[in-house]
Each structure stands twice: as structure tokens, then as C-alpha cells.
Structure 1
């Protein structure tokens, strides 16, 4: 199964991968509470970490 996954990931270019990530992010934003205050602490922490990691990526687009 890992061979199949490797083949699939190699077939995605950077632009396609970024588009998929953005679409997933948009869907998550629609399904999560807008303020994040009602999220469990562990999930709020993970979301903050994702935001920090996305900031450097935005500079390269």
C-alpha cells in the first residue's frame, strides 16, 4: 500500500497539492466555530500550530 501512496504523492505537483490543502482548510473553517473559544484546549493548540506553519508558506506563493 505504501508503494501506491508514494506513486500518488509523486504525481501531485506543488500547485495541485496546495489547492487540495486550501480546499480542506476552507471546509474545516466552515465546520469549526468562528472564534475557536469553544474548542478543547488541545485542538485550539493544534490549530494555532497549523497557523504558525502556514505563515512562512504564504510568503512563497
Structure 2
């Protein structure tokens, strides 16, 4: 699947995009508690995302 880049001047800047991603992530963390039983593959993927985030943004995640 190809992605077309939109050069629209109203395109979100990096800071705004990051804020939106953080807000969505926080809401998902509240919705999907660790005690929620996830399928094993989905649990593996979530754990991998957490590891990557901790590597890229040390001190950012609890």
C-alpha cells in the first residue's frame, strides 16, 4: 500500500502529532488494563511497543 504525502500547509506539525499520539496512548492504557486478558500475540506486540518506547523515550513511560 502506497502512502501519498499531503503537502497541505494545515498539516500537523511534529509536536501536535506527538501530543495526539500520547493522548491516545494514555486513553488506551486506561481502557486496556494489564489485568485484561489479551490474546497472546496481541500481548506480545503490546509488550514490544512498551520496550521500544522505553528505549526511545527513557523516563517518559511509567
TM value normalised by structure 1: 0.66
Q: Deviations over 1:13-53 (max 9, x none)?
A: 221111111111011111112335x1110110010111122
Alpha-carbon offset, residue 9 of structure 1: 8.6
Q: Larger helix proportion, structure 1 or 2?
A: 1
Q: Which runs of 5+ in 2 are unaligned?
A: none
Structure 1: distance between partners of 2:7 and 2:17: 11
| Consecutive aligned runs of 4 or more in structure 1 exceeding 6 Å deviation | none
CA RMSD of aligned residues (A): 2.7
Matched, 1:35 2:35: yes
Q: Which runs of 5+ in 1 are unaligned?
A: none
TM value normalised by structure 2: 0.66
Q: Closer, same or farther in 2 for the Cα pair 1:51/1:17, shift >3 Å?
A: same
